[in-house]
Structure 1
Amino acid sequence: MKLDAPTLVTVTVFVMVVMGALYLLSWSQARQTRALGFLGAAQVVGAAAITLFGLRDVIPDWLSIGLANAVMLVAFGLMWCGARSFEGRRIPFAWLAAGPLLWLAACLVPPFYASLGARVILSSAVAGLYCTLAARTLWHHGGDRLPSRTPAAILLASEGLLIWARIPATLVLPVPPTGTPVQTGWVAALCFVALLYTVAVSVLFMALAKERLEAEQRRVAGTDPLTGIANRRALAAEARVVLGHGPAALLLFDLDHFKRVNDTFGHAVGDAVLVGFCAAARRVLPAGTAFGRLGGEEFACLLPGADAAGAASIAESVRLAVAAMRPDRAPGLVVTVSVGVARSSGTDGTGDFEALLGLADRALYQAKAQGRDRVVLAGPGLRQVA
């Protein structure tokens, strides 16, 4: 099958402009997602570069060669910036400009500009580097796990390798025939590959943006808006996973006389106490502990694999940390917490979160009945720990 270069150039430009417009439209509706703006700009700039390439021998060479390659390098740089923005990293504008400026400076050297091989090597080296950096940014991420992240990184890496493959090919293959570029097969092949990568990369980045938005919505839906910890629904879901893997202990916290705090000092101080309690508890609880707000002044956390003594010890540490709190808005306020502790062995019927919560609630009731500011362990006789 013969590829018609002028048609492929036209189709590629059209597709890139449409994809760029879609990115920019999405960015206009979600300005906090700056990556969409960078990627949209990359598509539009890339379309401008291909248009200049396609007008070879129609416009001056300094436009179809010098400027066209510089513009294309800007497009690849913007794609890298889009990947960095998506991962919340600083945008290296100096490095974005470095590639195109290096190209333009090299074009001012007559021997370089006269050598097709030298031009291909330099432009391919810089463009491939931008692609590889974009792939590396997505691969070495420190954020959420998104299904489309790995395919996008692999696709960008393969594009970078394909671009770099032009370097050894230029060194070993004969110089391509001269003539109007849109009439030569290599331009048609490049346009075809560019078209495929444009569509694939655009689809994957759109999927990444959608997956990030959905993940953020799930996070917000499972987060208590005041304290920033898990709400009851999210905690219950996480507890089911933990309890399904073996024994665990549940700590149920209730801030003592919290209604009196609100009535005496106001709800602003009450809110500060709730936030302060979460901060104090998090400093004491083991890292990665499932910790959430059940409602009002009641909180719970699940300790995987903890025995009764270990769970009671952690509960006592939280109690002491809370007793040391002194809210900034009410320095004289003494905050205390009562704690009920229940343990599931995984075989005694308490593997259900609600059942385990019921046991901890009875222990908490005894802690309050015995004078508050103490830890009570559920079990035969409801043993007080402190």
Structure 2
Amino acid sequence: MDQTLHLPTIMVVHAVIIMISTLATIYMWLRYRGSHVLPILVAAGLAGCAAMLLHANRGTLPLTLSSGLGIGLGILAVGLFWQAVVVFEGGRLSIAKASAGGLAWILLWFTPMLQNSIEARAATLSLLLAGYCFLTAQLTLVRAKHEPLPSRSIAATTAGLRGLLWLAAVPLSVFVAPPYAEDGSTAQWFALVTLANSMLNILSLVSLLVIAKERDERRYRLASERDPLTNLPNRRTFVTEAAEMLHEAEGGASLLLFDIDHFKSVNDTHGHAAGDQVLLAFSHAIDQRMPKGWLFARIGGEEFACLMPRMSAQQAVAVAENLRLAIADMAMPGLGALRIAVSIGVCEATQRGTGLDTMLASADAALYRAKADGRNCVRLYEPATLLVETGQSIALADPQPRLGLARIRRRSA
């Protein structure tokens, strides 16, 4: 048992593992020189390796060097890892905060309290290390609300366990045995805590790298699901999610189809940058009025769609009219007297299981009527008769065969 938990051996092995992981991190840094996280991890690894090697030679080196400087470097390593996570989460690096714990240890090392009491040294070390670990766990959990990634729970749990392990060293050193006896022998619990912390330290680094990989995958997935200009769901995402919503919907659903009026003239007169500004302003104005559970997306150039579960046709028309009025009153800063307006077509799924193709075709027919009626208005799909641009009436008992999902007309007027 004593040989298995020989503390100097544990520390040397851990130092070797840290050095290997640090070399791997250096290789990654050379490949991705733009990274701001990797150099901090390299510094943390070097400090941790030096700390382990110094403290492993506690029996041969002066105590001030092995424990004073050595443990100070170990605290610095944990502080740097915390700051690496801060930068990874979009914060600013603070060398002062990373090194505060290590500097505090070195300064306190020369006080009579730490010089004369190994229990005081154990308590001080434990509190400093636990503080950094809990800060890391807290930051990882807070960011999970904004960027939910599967491995965040592992990373936060690992950092929290490291903190609890070091906190446990305080009562253990007081009520069980001090970390080091007067003859220099090591308490078994201290060797166990060091071994467990070594394994958790490696898991912390691995979990951070896994989170980085998951972040890249999430970024690519969102890029494929979102419109790059407005950051709204794109057409493919709308079709997929709307079809699922309609399949599961109870109590019916209504669909709004928006088309910004005279958008082509905005591009022709003011330029495409102004057109992008109009699209951004329009999408933001509508999106901020969307309650949870509605699906709002950009499905074409100036075309947008909104699926509203459990919404009757009359309610949908009222919602559409409010949105139309909100857009009609909206000014466009920097574009002079330019005002934008929107035409909206509305249709209702009259029964559960109504296909998305049918709803899109019906809303498109109603939108076409709104354009023919002078734009800047709302029209509800009426299957019996639709007014078209020529002023003639045509019968449309079932619009789906003529206006399928792949054949929705593009309107640039």
TM over 0.5: yes
> How many angstroms apart in 2 are the aligned matches of 1:174 and 1:282?
62
1:256-298 superposed Cα distances (whole Å, 9 cap, x missing partner):
2222222233222222222222122224333564222112111
Q: Residue type matched to 1:331 in 2?
A: G
214, 228, 234: which one pairs with 1:211? 214
TM superposition shift of 1:382? 6.7
1:185-230 superposed Cα distances (whole Å, 9 cap, x missing partner):
6675455323311222222111111111111111122222222222
Q: Which residue of 2 aligns with 1:149?
A: 152
Structure 2: tracts of 5 or more residues without a match: 388-413
276, 296, 319: which one pairs with 1:271? 276
Does the alignment pair 1:315 with 2:320? yes
> How many angstroms apart in 2 are the aligned matches of 1:65 and 1:221?
53
> How many angstroms apart in 2 are the aligned matches of 1:243 and 1:29?
48
TM-score, L = length of structure 1? 0.88
1:227-274 superposed Cα distances (whole Å, 9 cap, x missing partner):
222211222233234334313322111112222222233222222222
SS in 1 for 2:299: strand
Q: Which residue of 1 aligns with 2:46?
A: 44
CA contact (8 A) 2:80 2:99 kept: no
1:207-286 alignment runs, 5 A limit: 207-246=210-249, 247-286=252-291
TM superposition shift of 1:379? 4.1
288, 297, 302: which one pairs with 2:302? 297
Change (3 A) 1:47 1:287: same
Change (3 A) 1:78 1:293: same
Q: Which residue of 2 aligns with 1:177?
A: 181
CA contact (8 A) 1:73 1:100 kept: yes
> How many angstroms apart in 1 are the aligned matches of 2:244 and 2:23?
43
96, 104, 107: which one pairs with 2:106? 104
Change (3 A) 1:77 1:383: farther
> How many angstroms apart in 1 are the aligned matches of 2:26 and 2:258?
48
1:75-154 alignment runs, 5 A limit: 75-89=77-91, 91=93, 93-141=95-143, 142-154=145-157
361, 368, 374: which one pairs with 2:377? 374
Q: Which residue of 1 aligns with 2:409?
A: none
Q: Which residue of 2 aligns with 1:55?
A: 57
Q: Residue type matched to 2:103 in 1?
A: L
Q: Residue type matched to 1:212 in 2?
A: R
TM superposition shift of 1:171? 0.5
> How many angstroms apart in 1 are the aligned matches of 2:78 and 2:177?
27
SS in 2 for 1:249: strand
Structure 1: tracts of 5 or more residues without a match: none
C-alpha RMSD of matched pairs (Å): 2.7
Comparing 54-63 with 360-369, which one deviates more in the overlay? 54-63
